[in-house]
């Protein structure tokens, strides 16, 4: 008899990849990169510990200095960064895993202190983030007002992603995910709460999707479409984002990405207690339009993940915070074992603490037994 648990721990193939289970590690910024935004041995150990995931999507990695918005995030635009990432991909592959790099440009979520010559960060339009603060080397600061990219500069931005994909390939990644979610540069073009352009990159949904599709064309030219995924967050308000009609916009985007035969679509839409097919949810509309592998994310438990797979709402489910605290998450889910609780205070700082010291199930048992 097939049970729902057989689905979460059954294999899945897309393109040239064969995944041993459907438990994906979501991209998680941890701010542990070394000097020059270079990945280190510490980062390699962290990913190696999590290599039992069906697929790891790396933390977001900026494609340029212009695309940087946080302290300690790794880059993918220098030779030293490629060498650092090679430590990570080698460690994950040795441990039997697969890993994609998440390509990132933060756009207006930056601050002048990260920019060359303290220039203004760039975006689709000169609309500043009002909510929250930029996390600068000098501590929290109000976000800088961005400047709108000139139309002649856009090929250069596409080129940053293309170069990032080339370097990701040189570093040994199995593929790349475009970070087109969570209010960063690509999302700043997609959604009309920010994008006020009147040229061919603004206005209609076709125009607002243009930057993403140009980046897709460039990056699939490097990796092949079957090794490229994209992440979308159709209703997220993070980074002061909004859109007048997310269902229309993101349905168009899913259709276009499907035509370009992208390996997967990774959709972030927190469940927040709603049914998977609740009418306000955008995810089911995208599932219906996208033919490749479909990954869902946002507050999934083992039970919700199984339901998503059983009902055909998704092919794969990604887990964020649970993977921070549980290096052996697939095994714990399979055995219905208790999960370690994540320590929020070490999400973005703390070196090895709260990073590579969460116990595996077989390490946790002696500690628990020691109490008796």
Ligand X SMILES: Cc1cc2nc3c(=O)[nH]c(=O)nc-3n(C[C@H](O)[C@H](O)[C@H](O)COP(=O)(O)O)c2cc1C
Task: Please select the residue that binds ligand X; options are 87, 267, 268, 293, rule is CB under 6 A.
Answer: 268
**Can you tell me whether residue 229 is helix, strand or coil?**
strand
Residue nearer to ligand X on the CB measure, 59 or 256: 59
Identify the CA nearest to 231 among candidates 18, 26, 74, 21.
Answer: 26
> What is the phi-psi region of residue 189: left when phi exceeds 0, alpha when psi lies from -120 to 50, beta otherwise?
alpha
**Interface pick for ligand X out of 126, 170, 321, 356 (rule CB under 6 A):** 321
SS3 366: helix
Half-sphere exposure of 300 (CA within 13 A, CB side): 32
Site for ligand X in 131-170 (CB under 6 A): none
Q: Which of 46, 77, 184, 358 is catalytic?
A: 184
Q: Which of 48, 59, 174, 307 binds ligand X (CB under 6 A)?
A: 59
Minimum CB–partner distance for residue 106 and ligand X (Å) = 10
Cβ proximity to ligand X, 102 vs 160, nearer residue: 102
Rounded to whole angstroms, the Cα distance separating 44 from 47 reads 5
Q: Does the footprint of ligand X cover residue 103 (CB under 6 A)?
A: no
Q: Which is nearer to ligand X, 59 or 197 (CB)?
A: 59
Question: Any contact of residue 129 with ligand X (CB under 6 A)?
Answer: no
Which x/- pattern, by CB under 6 A, does the window 21-40 give for ligand X? -----xxxx-----------
By beta-carbon proximity to ligand X, the closer residue of 126 and 337 is: 337
Q: Should residue 283 be labelled a site residue for ligand X when binding is judged by CB under 6 A?
A: no
Q: Does 234 bind ligand X (CB under 6 A)?
A: no
Give the count of alpha carbons within 13 A of 13, CB side only: 3
102 binding ligand X? (CB under 6 A):
yes
Q: Which two tokens stand for residue 162?
A: 């293309």
Cα gap 54→175, rounded to integer Å: 14
Sequence length of the chain is: 372
Residue 298 as a binder of ligand X (CB under 6 A): the answer is: yes
φ/ψ (deg, to 5) at 332 = -65, -40
# chain residues binding ligand X, by CB under 6 A? 21
Query: Which helix or strand (DSSP H or E) is residue 297 part of?
Result: strand 293-297
State which of residues 319, 330, 355, 358 lies at the interface with ligand X (CB under 6 A): 319
50 near ligand X, rule: CB under 6 A = no
Q: Which stretch binds ligand X (CB under 6 A): 48-56, 175-183, 212-220, 330-338?
A: 175-183
Say whether residue 100 binds ligand X (CB under 6 A).
no
Residue 30: CB minimum distance to ligand X, A: 7
CA distance to 1, 27, 104, 231, 304, per residue, from 342 (Å): 35, 16, 25, 24, 20
Which one, 31 or 170, has the nearer CB to ligand X? 31
339 lies in the site for ligand X, by CB under 6 A: no
Residues 141 and 113 sit within 8 Å (Cβ to Cβ)? yes
Can you give the C-alpha Rg of the chain in angstroms? 20
Nearest to 317 by CA among 333, 341, 335: 333
116 burial (CB, 10 Å; 0-12 / 13-18 / 19+) is exposed
Is-contact 171 82, C-beta < 8 A?
A: yes
- Name the 3-class secondary structure at 359: coil
Q: Is 181 in the site for ligand X (CB under 6 A)?
A: yes
Q: Specify the stretch interacting with ligand X by CB under 6 A; choose among 35-43, 83-91, 216-224, 296-304.
A: 296-304
Q: Is 184 a catalytic residue?
A: yes
Instruction: Decide: is 299 part of the binding site for ligand X (CB under 6 A).
Output: yes
Verify binding: residue 320, ligand X, rule CB under 6 A.
yes
Q: Does 297 bind ligand X (CB under 6 A)?
A: yes
Whose Cβ is closer to ligand X: residue 148's or residue 286's? Answer: 286
Closest alpha carbon to 134 in 157, 113, 149:
113
**Which residues bind to ligand X, rule: CB under 6 A?**
26-29, 59-60, 102, 179, 181-182, 231, 268, 297-300, 319-322, 347
Catalytic positions, written as ranges: 184
């Amino acid at each position: 008899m097939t049970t729902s648990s057989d689905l979460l721990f059954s294999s899945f193939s897309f393109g040239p990849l064969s995944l041993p289970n459907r438990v994906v590690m979501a991209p998680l910024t941890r701010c542990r990169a070394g000097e020059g935004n270079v990945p280190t041995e510490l980062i390699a150990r962290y990913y190696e510990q999590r290599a039992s995931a069906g697929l790891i999507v790396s933390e977001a990695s900026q494609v340029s200095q212009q695309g940087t918005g946080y302290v300690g995030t790794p880059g993918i635009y220098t030779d030293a960064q490629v060498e650092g990432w090679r430590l990570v991909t080698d460690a994950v592959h040795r441990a039997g895993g697969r890993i994609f790099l998440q390509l990132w440009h933060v756009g207006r979520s930056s601050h002048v202190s990260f920019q060359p010559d303290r220039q203004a960060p760039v975006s689709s339009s000169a609309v500043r983030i009002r909510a929250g603060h930029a996390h600068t080397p000098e501590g929290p600061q109000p976000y800088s007002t961005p400047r709108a990219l000139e139309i002649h500069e856009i090929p250069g931005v596409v080129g940053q992603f293309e170069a990032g994909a080339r370097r990701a390939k040189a570093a040994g990644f199995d593929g790349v995910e475009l970070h087109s979610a969570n209010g960063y540069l690509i999302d700043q073009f997609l959604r009309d709460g920010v994008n006020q352009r009147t040229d061919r990159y603004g206005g209609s949904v076709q125009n607002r999707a243009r930057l993403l599709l140009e980046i897709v064309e460039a990056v699939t030219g490097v990796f092949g479409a079957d090794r490229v995924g994209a992440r979308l967050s159709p209703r997220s308000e993070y980074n002061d984002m909004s859109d007048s009609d997310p269902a229309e916009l993101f349905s168009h985007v899913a259709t276009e990405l499907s035509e370009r035969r992208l390996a997967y679509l990774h959709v972030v839409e927190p469940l927040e207690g709603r049914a998977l097919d609740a009418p306000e949810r955008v995810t089911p509309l995208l599932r219906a339009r996208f033919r490749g592998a479909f990954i869902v994310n946002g507050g999934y438990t083992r039970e919700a993940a199984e339901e998503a797979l059983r009902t055909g709402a998704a092919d794969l489910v990604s887990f964020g915070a649970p993977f921070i605290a549980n290096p052996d998450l697939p095994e714990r889910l399979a055995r219905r074992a208790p999960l370690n609780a994540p320590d929020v205070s070490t999400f973005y700082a703390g070196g090895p603490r709260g990073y590579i010291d969460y116990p595996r199930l077989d390490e946790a048992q002696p500690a628990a037994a020691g109490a008796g």
